[in-house]
Structure 1
Amino acid sequence: MAQAIFDAVFRLGRLQPLIDDDRAENIFILGHDRVLLQLVDGSRIRVDPVADSGDELIDFLRFLANRSESNPRPFSESTPRLHLKLDGGARLAATAWVTSSPTVVVRRHRHKVDTLSAWVDRGCMSPACADFLAAAVRGKWSIVVAGPMSAGKTTLMRALCAEIPREEVLGTFETEYELFLHETGRHDIVVDWEARPGMGEIGADGRAAGAFDLDEALNDSYRFALDRQIVGEIRGREVWTMIKAMESGTGSLSTTHAASAEAAIRKLVTCAMEAGGHVTRELALEKLAGCLEVIVQLNRRVVLMPDGSQQLQRWVSEVVVVEPGEREKGYALTHLFGPSGTGPARASGLMSERCKDLTVDGFDLDLYQAEADGRGWQG
């Protein structure tokens, strides 16, 4: 009882035990009475409710949204969506009034500190792939990590960021905090910006009072003596913030949802065109092909094991180098690794000439060629 009272007053109430459950990766709250945990192996189990009614669940969500003194977020019938970081780092997404019942999904970040070598050890990527990506980060190439939901995009982003030299001054730009680079201890200086949706009166510009977007944050960041600007997840118009960061030549990194590397290009173009009618497909493609250099595509699946248990598998399915292409298409993709639909992508042997420039940043051409020839890692 003492723990429940403490959780109710200072933490996340009846949700807290689920957040503390190391078996859980996602928490699904479908109305007040149906709560499921998606475990790390991909299976789901049903657990006790976190509220006694839909109204109580909504009141709890409003409490969470408003208790931050620095970045409160609206949640009401006029603003029926909520996205925020919970204490401890989990990510919460909620909606109500536009669904049949209040719905919440909480994503627990299991690997706040990760490395490319750990991805190799977990069987998620090949050694040559890890070697190339490490060199690309050190060489300040701009990278987008793409994949379906829950494929490990943010986790891989942290592993890529671990390759950034400690002495670099980093700036991160996120709609909701997820990277937590300032907590890893791998870098001396990290300035982390988070967008603020604003609350209250709507101004003549159509924005709520106190709103602060990523584009404003990026503009401010040029006075902070940064060595690298890292933009988080791309879901819409924030793609222009990503493009501006990449055009700065600092070696930016971002994530987006897509089914393949080429689909990621189309997705980013669509996001760019959401900025208005003045943004044509040709302009968006020209910008992306001119600043984006590598797309790392992830995949995932749940495999049923012979003993009846489940195993969640994630892997790097393809790595492509992006370059300006013929006028009609606007870009050219070179598959450096993969594609592979069944496991970690292997070196293809199709190397873009500019990749050889990364040897000064540690790219091992012999390791890559050995994997491509079948003389190295076999997976």
Structure 2
Amino acid sequence: MPSWVAPPAAARTPVPAAAGGAVAGTAPTSLPVLPTPPTPAPPAIDPQVARELKRQVAAELHQQLTKMTNATPGLEIDRATRRQRGRALIEEVVARWSDAYAQTHGAAPTREQDRALAEAVYDLLFRAGRLQPYLDDPEIENILINGCDDVWVSRVHQPLKQVPPVADSDAELIELLQDLARQHGGGERSLNTASPTLALRLEGGMRLQAMTEVTPRPYVAIRRHRVASATLADMVQLGTVDSTLAAFLAAAIRARKNVMITGTQGVGKTSMLRAMAAEIPPDERIGTLESEFELWLHTLGHLRQVVPMEAREGNGERIDGKAAGELSIGELIPAALRMTLSRIIVGEVRSGEVVPMLRVMTNGEGGSMCTLHARGPHMVVDRIAELCLEYGSHMTDTLAYRLTANAVDLIVHVSMVDETAVGGRRHRFVSHVLEVTGLGENGRPALNTVFGPRPDLGEPRGVPHTPPNCLDDLRRAGFDAGLLQSAYGSWQAPLSLRIGGVR
């Protein structure tokens, strides 16, 4: 057997037939029960062989594509054509290697082994190499890499678990990340000494963030949005909201209220934003602005007039303190306003772009949305002020508070209770909906808790508290105000937790 192929698993020990297994009215049979044959594991391949063949294919593919473009000036070769030709070259190169191996070792690899090697080369050239099996696993939510040989994954409702390495060296891991950056196709993205961080989207909508040079080893975090095309009805099924809160949020979108969705990392802010966007009338013209595409509203099919915009990283060279070629979300907003958009949706507000976003909310027709990182709902106002201060030296707390009070109508806070460490599950839910009702004491925005938890009932999820000042607007948009009369909302029982209630 070739040395690069893993040995077969040992055969199972036959299990004797259980006593009393004869059918009533018939004589017991003496035939043994045959064991179920084990499912063969995919052949293991030598990563060094796969990398060498990948380099050969890459060189031959480059030569072929260069000849094509030289023969037909102006020809643009799309990704599908590149991959089709690459697949054919991979089959040829693997066949040549297999023949050479047979001559050297006296035994040829099997067809399954050749196929496994070809897939490994294809993954290295066009996909994510040894990372790909984790990206293909729909149960994996997070992949954390702390150097090539320290890899962890978290699956749905399970704690972190260490898994085999994704590269044989940190240098190979960086090469893989650089290949992914070249495949990205959206602006100039790279990972090197001049550009020590890398942020990009992967196939399937996953988001990757990598760092090197500024860390002792390459560090990578990959997040998957498991709810790809969510609606508020889906959020009800998942337990994120109840039907009362879903009806309230749907009416808020129809009534063109400006909404900020807040929470910590990984709680489901983007999924909630996507679900609320599904309530926008399909013929409205909207714009989405993101650092990497995650919302995918322009591909889901519900909205027919979407202008998707993605920020662009610079190429490492700095001019006047800014990376050459860089286009931030804040710089894209003025251009977006000239695209005849009725709403603007920002995937995530992280810095000074919060100021143009708040101005859009103040001056536009309403109905714009964004997400914002904040640990608690009552921290959101100060978090907005902090980001406003990054906009420029002329910004003050007072101005930031005034912008917030004039721009934001509702704050929807998403929380998570993670009980996987004690044998439970991760509970993600909307815990608060706060209404911004103008300026209050000390010049700060006044907040009205429309939905919130009920500690006295052991309920951490958002249930009705105080009717909003904008209730008439919501009623005109079809909301049944009688739904707010129930102190329990539409939940059948308080959230079942293994430990305690509200935290």
Q: TM-score, normalised by structure 1?
A: 0.93
**Distance in 2 separating the partners of 1:378 and 1:291:** 35
**Runs of 5+ in structure 1 lacking a partner?**
none
Aligned-pair Cα RMSD in Å: 1.9
Deviation at 1:99, TM superposition (A): 2.1
What secondary structure, in the 3-state scheme, does the structure 2 residue paired with 1:352 have?
Answer: coil
In the other structure, the counterpart of 2:335 is 220
User: Which of 183, 202, 217 is 2:299 aligned to?
Assistant: 183
In the other structure, the counterpart of 1:36 is 152
| Contact 2:184 2:200 survives alignment (8 Å) | no
The residue correspondences of 1:229-268 to structure 2 (distance < 5 A) are 229-247=344-362, 248-268=364-384
The amino acid that maps onto 1:271 is L
What secondary structure, in the 3-state scheme, does the structure 2 residue paired with 1:346 have?
Answer: strand
The residue correspondences of 1:211-360 to structure 2 (distance < 5 A) are 211-247=326-362, 248-304=364-420, 309-339=423-453, 342-348=459-465, 350-360=466-476
Deviation at 1:304, TM superposition (A): 4.8
Structure ranking higher on relative contact order (CA contacts 8 Å, 6+ apart): 1
Deviation at 1:63, TM superposition (A): 2.4
In the other structure, the counterpart of 1:199 is 315
1:376/1:97 Cα in 2 relative to 1: closer, same or farther (>3 Å)?
A: closer
1:353/1:75 Cα in 2 relative to 1: closer, same or farther (>3 Å)?
A: same
User: Which of 175, 181, 186 is 1:59 aligned to?
Assistant: 175
In the other structure, the counterpart of 1:2 is 118
Deviation at 1:228, TM superposition (A): 1.2
In the other structure, the counterpart of 1:116 is 232
**Distance in 2 separating the partners of 1:228 and 1:268:** 20
The amino acid that maps onto 1:328 is N
Deviation at 1:171, TM superposition (A): 0.5
Could you list the runs of 4 or more consecutive aligned residues of structure 1 that deviate by over 6 angstroms after TM superposition? Answer: none
What secondary structure, in the 3-state scheme, does the structure 2 residue paired with 1:338 have?
Answer: strand
**Runs of 5+ in structure 2 lacking a partner?**
1-116, 494-503
1:309/1:320 Cα in 2 relative to 1: closer, same or farther (>3 Å)?
A: same
1:157/1:245 Cα in 2 relative to 1: closer, same or farther (>3 Å)?
A: same
What secondary structure, in the 3-state scheme, does the structure 2 residue paired with 1:111 have?
Answer: coil
1:270/1:155 Cα in 2 relative to 1: closer, same or farther (>3 Å)?
A: same
What per-residue deviation string (whole Å, max 9, x for no partner) do you get for residues 312-344 of structure 1?
111111111012122514211110001357532
Task: Find the structure with the greater CA-based Rg.
Answer: 2
What secondary structure, in the 3-state scheme, does the structure 1 residue paired with 2:204 have?
Answer: coil
**Distance in 2 separating the partners of 1:312 and 1:377:** 18
| Contact 2:184 2:201 survives alignment (8 Å) | no
* Range with greater deviation from structure 2 (271-280 or 59-68): 59-68
**Distance in 2 separating the partners of 1:345 and 1:283:** 31
What secondary structure, in the 3-state scheme, does the structure 2 residue paired with 1:181 have?
Answer: coil
Deviation at 1:2, TM superposition (A): 2.1
What secondary structure, in the 3-state scheme, does the structure 2 residue paired with 1:109 have?
Answer: coil
**Distance in 1 separating the partners of 2:473 and 2:437:** 15
Deviation at 1:249, TM superposition (A): 2.9
Deviation at 1:378, TM superposition (A): 4.3
What secondary structure, in the 3-state scheme, does the structure 1 residue paired with 2:356 have?
Answer: helix
* Range with greater deviation from structure 2 (56-65 or 176-185): 56-65
Higher helix share: 2
* Range with greater deviation from structure 2 (53-62 or 23-32): 53-62
What per-residue deviation string (whole Å, max 9, x for no partner) do you get for residues 273-328 of structure 1?
011221101111100111101001111122259xx743111111111101212251
Deviation at 1:33, TM superposition (A): 0.1
1:327/1:337 Cα in 2 relative to 1: closer, same or farther (>3 Å)?
A: closer
In the other structure, the counterpart of 1:94 is 210
What secondary structure, in the 3-state scheme, does the structure 2 residue paired with 1:72 have?
Answer: coil
| Contact 1:146 1:298 survives alignment (8 Å) | yes
In the other structure, the counterpart of 1:208 is 323
What per-residue deviation string (whole Å, max 9, x for no partner) do you get for residues 255-282 of structure 1?
1111222211111110110112211011
| Contact 2:143 2:151 survives alignment (8 Å) | yes
The amino acid that maps onto 1:24 is I
**Distance in 1 separating the partners of 2:467 and 2:338:** 38
What secondary structure, in the 3-state scheme, does the structure 2 residue paired with 1:236 have?
Answer: coil
What secondary structure, in the 3-state scheme, does the structure 2 residue paired with 1:339 have?
Answer: strand
| Contact 2:471 2:481 survives alignment (8 Å) | no
In the other structure, the counterpart of 1:156 is 272
What per-residue deviation string (whole Å, max 9, x for no partner) do you get for residues 72-112 of structure 1?
22322333221111122100011112223211010011111
| Contact 2:127 2:180 survives alignment (8 Å) | no
| Contact 1:33 1:50 survives alignment (8 Å) | yes
| Contact 1:171 1:226 survives alignment (8 Å) | yes
| Contact 1:145 1:297 survives alignment (8 Å) | yes
Q: How many residues align?
A: 373
| Contact 2:429 2:461 survives alignment (8 Å) | yes
**Distance in 1 separating the partners of 2:193 and 2:348:** 26
| Contact 1:143 1:252 survives alignment (8 Å) | yes
Q: TM-score, normalised by structure 2?
A: 0.71
What secondary structure, in the 3-state scheme, does the structure 2 residue paired with 1:233 have?
Answer: strand
In the other structure, the counterpart of 2:32 is none
Identical-pair percentage: 38
**Distance in 2 separating the partners of 1:214 and 1:229:** 12
